[in-house]
Amino acid sequence: MNRLYKSYIRTDALPSLFCPGCGNGIIQMAAIRAIDGLGIRENLACVSGIGCSSWIPCYLNLDVMHTIHGRALAFATGLKMAQPDKKVMVFTGDGDCLAIGGNHFLHACARNIDLTVIMVNNYIYGMTGGQKSPATPMDAVTKTSPYGAMDYPIDGCQLALTMGATYVARWSTAHPVQLEKSIREGVEHKGFSYIEVLSQCPVQGGKNLYGEKEPAAILKKYREMAKEGQVQLGVFTKDSPRTEYLERVNQRLAAQGWEV
Amino acid sequence: MANITIDKSCCKGCDICYAVCPKKIFVRSKNRNHYGTNMPDITNPETCIYCGMCERMCPDGAIDVQKEESSENED
């Protein structure tokens, strides 16, 4: 077993429930490396919702809250308000963040509270058997769209930019070095950080969704798509004049005569 | 020479390591892991350049690459 992985993982919970070739493990490793590089293990709390991707922090030997479907951001906001010194990382999926938790996502972005959201986008509801998610591309065949998906997909990064998130980035599981760097920057950034990771689900998605079946071939396809500009990867915004939510709260409290 | 190990109880046989290693150190074998699928075999570990891609890309943290003491003394 990898030494770094072993020092951060709850070994009694292994083997993990991820299918062979799942991208969640790669994101878990990137997150472990980022946490280890920053040295914030004692000062970090992870929050997750429901879905395959929300099981990523549950295997980590840290303070973890596994909460109800779509409400991970609401719980994380409460945790950050109660303990402002802690760094809070939120792991969520495309169904969790954009479908049922869409409203919480919009308002957390608009508040600009100091959270780091890692949204694992595999274009499908993997845990429940491969149904269509809001991020599924048009004409993709899934279990609940056998004649091709009819809806235009929701672009999480554009949504976060529109709502005023102050750090927005998108990477894929084929870019683990850049992903690790982005997670580090997101944790250090003061304000709402949204990092979308394009992942693969070779079991429930597979050929109908990505055009390839093997996980290594899907990763290669992601690299080619990034090179040809079919998906836009990179850091979209870093500098924004928006102030952080807790700073504004403290300002108002000080104006009322409270000691902060 | 690099000391490369693959944990039999962690590997799930997803075949990602064959594609990501630039030196093609991992090759297909008929050894079974505890999951019941085929796990990779290690060939020519002395060609390893310590890029760390296999450690980063293994979804189950099964691969561990360690620099041996002797190679550090030579440098």
For each of the domains in chain A, give its residue range(s) and CATH number, in order of start: 3-255 (3.40.50.970)
Which pLDDT score is estimated for A14?
A: 83
- The interface residues of chain B toward chain A in range 52-71, judged by CB-CB distance below 8 A, are 53, 55-64, 66
Contact A77, A47 (CB under 8 A): no
The rounded mean pLDDT for chain A is 92
* % of chain A surpassing 70 pLDDT: 100
Which site among B3, B24, B57 would you substitute to test the A interface, given the most A Cβ atoms closer than 10 Å to its Cβ?
A: B57
Q: Do A216 and B18 touch (CB under 8 A)?
A: yes
Q: Which amino acid is at A56?
A: I
Q: Does B41 touch chain A (CB under 8 A)?
A: no
Tell me the mean pLDDT in the region A165-171. 94
CA distance A129 to chain B (A): 20
Strands A116-121 and A87-93: parallel
Q: Does A183 touch chain B (CB under 8 A)?
A: no
Distance CA A11, CA A47 (A): 20
Which residues in chain B are contacts of A20 at CB distance < 8 A? 12-14, 35, 37, 59
CA within 13 Å, CB half, A92: 34
Contact A176, A99 (CB under 8 A): no
DSSP code for A186: H
Which pLDDT score is estimated for B75?
A: 52
What residue in A sits closest to B18 (Cα-Cα)? A216
CA distance B50 to chain A (A): 14
Token representation of residue A193:
């950080």
Q: Does A39 touch chain B (CB under 8 A)?
A: no
Distance CA A47, CA A120 (A): 14
Distance CA B73, CA B62 (A): 28
Contact A176, A182 (CB under 8 A): no
The count of residues in chain A is: 260
CA distance A53 to chain B (A): 13
Distance CA A235, CA A232 (A): 10
Each residue's pLDDT tens digit, B6-18: 988 889 988 899 9
Each residue's pLDDT tens digit, A15-33: 888 999 999 999 999 999 9
CA distance B44 to chain A (A): 20
| pTM attached to this predicted model | 0.92
Tell me the mean pLDDT in the region A233-255. 91
The domain B2-65 is placed in CATH, from the list 3.40.720.10, 3.40.50.2000, 3.40.50.10800, 3.30.70.20, at 3.30.70.20
Contact B19, B26 (CB under 8 A): no
Q: Does A175 touch chain B (CB under 8 A)?
A: no
Distance CA B62, CA A180 (A): 19
